[in-house]
Amino acid sequence: MLDATQHPLTKAEVERSVAGTPVSLNQLLQLELLRQEGEVYQLNYLLLTVGDQQTMYRICARYGQSLADAFRAHQAEFDSVSKKYPNAALRPQLMFDLIAGVSLDWRGLDLTTELGYRVQPPRHAKGGEYLIHSSEAGSDLDFTGLYLDSETAPGSKMSFSTFGDGASTPRLEGLPDVLDGGLEKAMEDWQKLPEVYAALRSEYVVLLLLAIDDAGQVMNAVASGAADTDAALAKVVPLPDERRKAGLGLLSAIGYLQETDHRYVVGVPVLTESDKPLVDAVLKLSREITEAWLRANYAAMEKDLSGLSPMRNGLPFSLAFSEAWHYTFGFASKSLAEGGFYANPRAKGNRYEGYVPFVWASSVIKGPGGR
């Protein structure tokens, strides 16, 4: 594959490369990793060499700054909307979640696909819709502070996410990592028993989703003002005592709830159904800014990145733009965080180092991938 980034390959070159391996030329064609053009074979998927990655990183840093500036131009409007959130101390974290996480990451990916800038995953002959992507090792790029990663556990009523940089994973005090990461570790010894492992995994997933829903009920009750004491929660949250207490214990331990004078308050941003107008306003403004910026900058970005090996091999820029957009909004989110536009997950003394938790009513926001 790396040879194919440099020049079209003859049949003899491919067969010489795969000799003695379980891989054949026919398999590479069936998997659509190579395509035949006349007597030669060309790269047919998104493979980024070390040079490609370094070029994309350098160029997208500049475009990311430009995108951040486009959002800064509307700071007064965002500040006005954020004031509708009752917990003033959590407004910077909430705006990070809604702009860096929901708007630029989740909805940004949807928007770039909708506008045709980012390629739709194709349906393959063997079934399934997906993109194949690989990167050559050794690029040595620093992604600390590029907030382009999210983890989410969707709940029936309330969902839990974290938004942050790659260096912050696993997020030991963030849901869902604090639950599913522990379960993965717990199951390691059973991987040598595939049938038991599969059954155990299914059982644990059910328990994890149950725990997420329990935690969601508690967070919603506290955030909405329905209950703020143990006695009130016992009346409002219809759970067995041991489950409610276990959930309270975990949420308090990771800082999602804070207790003062036997009363609970939320310690991280929580959106309830009453916050939908605020959410809609932020997402609408963010979409307008992002769409205008894309229309103004996409062609120039395509020209600046035309030398990437996928483009040299005749692949559309929309294929590489998926990765370029991640770099771009990652740099934008970093610039906005460091400039005080919203919370900075890498600020000194931040409990959640490199990420921001987010709890949200599942009816208020569509999750990643439009879910």
Strand order in the sheet with 40-43: 9-10, 40-43, 34-37
Helix (H) / strand (E) element for 300: namely helix 276-304
pLDDT band for 369, please (50, 70, 90 cuts). Answer: low
Please determine, for residue 350, whether its predicted confidence score (pLDDT) is greater than 70. yes
Report pLDDT for 223: 97
Burial of 220: CB neighbours in 10 Å, binned 0-12, 13-18, 19+? buried
Please compute the mean of the pLDDT values over residues 21-31 and round it to a whole number.
94
Please compute the mean of the pLDDT values over residues 49-53 and round it to a whole number.
97
Q: In DSSP terms, which residues pair with 153 in a beta bridge?
A: 160
Alpha carbon separation from 231 to 116, 260, 365 (Å, rounded): 54, 15, 31
- Digit-coded pLDDT (tens) for 313-344: 999 999 999 999 999 999 999 999 999 999 99
Report pLDDT for 367: 79
Please determine, for residue 371, whether its predicted confidence score (pLDDT) is greater than 50. no
Please determine, for residue 73, whether its predicted confidence score (pLDDT) is greater than 70. yes
Report pLDDT for 23: 95
Report pLDDT for 20: 94
Distance of CA 203 to the CA centre of its chain: 26
Strand order in the sheet with 158-164: 149-153, 158-164, 355-361, 270-271
Report pLDDT for 182: 79
Is 221 in contact with 229 (CB distance < 8 Å)?
A: no
Among 12, 329, 275, residue whose Cα is nearest residue 165 = 329
Return all residues near 93 (Cβ < 8 A) that are at least 6 apart: 268, 269, 342, 343, 356, 357
Helix (H, G, I), strand (E, B) or coil at 40: strand
- Digit-coded pLDDT (tens) for 110-160: 999 999 999 988 887 777 888 889 999 999 999 999 999 999 999 999 999
Helix (H) / strand (E) element for 305: namely none
Report pLDDT for 123: 83
Q: In DSSP terms, which residues pair with 46 in a beta bridge?
A: 133
pLDDT band for 370, please (50, 70, 90 cuts). Answer: very low
- Digit-coded pLDDT (tens) for 205-238: 899 999 999 999 999 999 999 999 999 999 999 9
Buried b (16+ CB within 10 A) or exposed e, 78-117: beebbeebeeeebbbbbbbbbbbbbbbbbbbbbbbbeeeb
Helix (H, G, I), strand (E, B) or coil at 176: coil
Is 72 in contact with 41 (CB distance < 8 Å)?
A: no
- pTM greater than the 0.85 cutoff: yes
- Digit-coded pLDDT (tens) for 246-268: 999 999 999 999 998 989 999 99
